[in-house]
Chain A
Amino acid sequence: MSIGERISAALIPTPAAASGWLADGAPLDSGSAMIVHSNLAHLAERNTRLVGHALGPGPITLATTFTAPWLASPFETYESDPTTHLRTIPWSRAESVHFGPVALSHTRLGTAPAGFYPRKVRVVIHHSKSSEAATTSYLIAALVDGPDTPLRSQVYASTFTTAVAASPGSYVTSLVLNCAAPLRPAESWRSRASGTSAPASTTITPAWVWVGWYSDTVATPDTVDAISVFEVYQ
């Protein structure tokens, strides 16, 4: 749903600006003004960014997603806290991938608390669950404020899902990262080089997306085949 009101949920074609129909001295009529308002609101909603698309590692087991990574990641701090899914894995490169940054665009209105909310980010994971008895796979996604892992960044939003051996097969799992509050600008980025104009910086809210996986299979691996991350307007 766009913030600005639209005539309809479609872009209304208009003649090119320089084609002579906007004549000198002619007032901007209300119909044209409405069309411009509607189209700009539509574009503000629909111009979503595709954040990243990547291949998964393929087969994942306990050995590839837990045992080896913990030993191989001396910079991570393990905290055995069962209340948060973010601490299921150490977020080393063997069991995670991350995308970004994307400069968040605030195109949603929220009321609790009131303010502009950034677009939701959707993570779609193409994966499979094996039938190895009593095993579970975890798929975890987090939207964070820096390139560092979710364990060491401010987490804007996170979610997870599981697949169990009782329901083996291929899955297309969708995880939605939905910020539950307005976000403050967090970084200053260069936005104009020195030249004919003065150099400038912009204070924005960048975000990185982490996607992690965990499997406790041993003999018959689960798989993570592909990961897609993109903004959505719905």
Chain B
Amino acid sequence: MSTPVPQAASAFALATVRTGQPVRVGGLERMSAEGAFVVGHNLHKTGEAQIPLRPAGRTVLEGLTHRVQVPYVRSEGAQVARLAVELHPSDELGGYQTVAVSLPSGASMIDDGDLDGSTLLYNPAGGRTTPRELVAWIDVSGVTAGTLTDVVQLTVTPSAKGAGVRRATVTESPLAAFAVGGSEPVVDGAAVRTGRLVAEAWTQDVFTVMKAGRAGYRQHWAVSGLESDDVTGAGSTPHWSREAATLGAVDWLGAVTPAWYFAPRALYGSATSGSWQARVRYRTSNATTCELRLYVEAGDISGAAWAGAGSGVVTHTITLPGTSGSWAWLDQAATIPVDGPLVRVSIEAKGPGVGQLLSIGCVALIEAEL
């Protein structure tokens, strides 16, 4: 017997639960439904990778083999993830590319959507006249939930006229029903019947689901671009970068002073900061240690301006050991103040110095509620 997963939250009232009175079947059914919604329907949408064409003077995307990183932490109820990839338009004959996908440990492709590393892909595809997404379906039921270092990586090999991937995104697919006895956290709604005793295992399941909805669900914040083996210097690199060995603005290839915003969950009220993990994908051209700083501030937007909250700016200094030309991940714990409805994130970096380069492919913050 399976338990249906509703697509909406449940509207129960606490007044139906009274001290000294038996808990009614209807109340328990609503409890089951709310648990199913929390861990079965309201699943992750990960951060996206967005890769616009490079500005003039930079190494162009056409013909540039590159990789795209999308950090993904499985939530406990998820069984299937949808990978959507949008290619740059194939404006000229021969403007194609291949895309290969590397999945987290335990994941496997159900349908690779031609993202197999060998099919020549065009946008629009042959026989079509409008651009579209390429969609792959991934079985993530074997991925360990909550692993903060999982990532979906796309390796893109364009032809001389193909510009590769424009956008990549991963979305967990909501469940229609729970398979009772399966691996996901589940409350068996059908086990609650009038006149029937509620088994202690059922009660424990409710608390397990509650924990999965709290700590098994993780918000994903990510600013992700591309990484490649291109080694040109600061004036022509296709990567986000910083050359100077002083702390300052990252060369974002266009944007000058970007800052990003999101609404944190603030589960315990505004006084308790959130536990997160910062992830940085980077490369240094030599062995010089570099640095990335994340500035995080709670607050709100008022009158088209940012107004910080009382906790002020929290600075996270992330030391990036020199990688001498290799791309690497670096992970570090981060705390996020939540005493405002929004959080603002901005980034600075310190490079290796003149003639050398710190390249950045992805900066992510993944919630790490325990």
Do B45 and A42 touch (CB < 8 A)? no
Do A40 and B129 touch (CB < 8 A)? no
Do B254 and A52 touch (CB < 8 A)? no
A183 to B269, CA, bound (A): 31
Chain B residues whose C-beta falls within 8 Å of the C-beta of A166 in the assembled complex: none
Do A191 and B129 touch (CB < 8 A)? no
Do A55 and B223 touch (CB < 8 A)? yes
Chain A residues whose C-beta falls within 8 Å of the C-beta of B60 in the assembled complex: none
Is A233 an interface residue, CB under 8 A from the partner? yes
Chain B residues whose C-beta falls within 8 Å of the C-beta of A218 in the assembled complex: none
A206 to B22, CA, bound (A): 40
Q: Which residues of B, 281-304, contact A by the 8 Å Cβ criterion?
A: 301, 304
Q: How far is the CB of B171 from chain A (nearest CB, A)?
A: 6
| Chain B contact patch, size range | 35 or more
Chain A residues whose C-beta falls within 8 Å of the C-beta of B172 in the assembled complex: 103
Contacts A30-B20, A126-B260, A191-B176 supplied; 15 other A-B pairs, CB < 8 Å: A4-B11, A11-B268, A16-B207, A16-B211, A36-B31, A53-B260, A57-B254, A75-B129, A93-B52, A93-B53, A103-B174, A107-B9, A192-B176, A193-B80, A204-B173
**Closest 7 pairs (CB-CB, A-B):** A58-B254, A226-B258, A17-B207, A106-B8, A193-B139, A54-B50, A44-B9
Q: Which residues of B contact A (CB under 8 A)?
A: 5, 7-15, 17-23, 27-28, 30-31, 34-35, 37-38, 41-45, 47-48, 50, 52-53, 55, 79-80, 82, 84, 86, 88-89, 108, 110-111, 129-133, 137, 139, 141, 166-167, 169, 171-177, 179, 182, 198, 200, 203-211, 213-214, 217, 219-223, 225, 252-263, 265-269, 301, 304-306, 341-342
Q: Which residues of A contact B (CB under 8 A)?
A: 2-7, 9-11, 14, 16-18, 22-28, 30-31, 33-34, 36-59, 75, 93, 97-103, 105-107, 109, 116, 122, 124, 126, 147-148, 152, 170-174, 185, 189-197, 200-206, 223-226, 228, 230-234
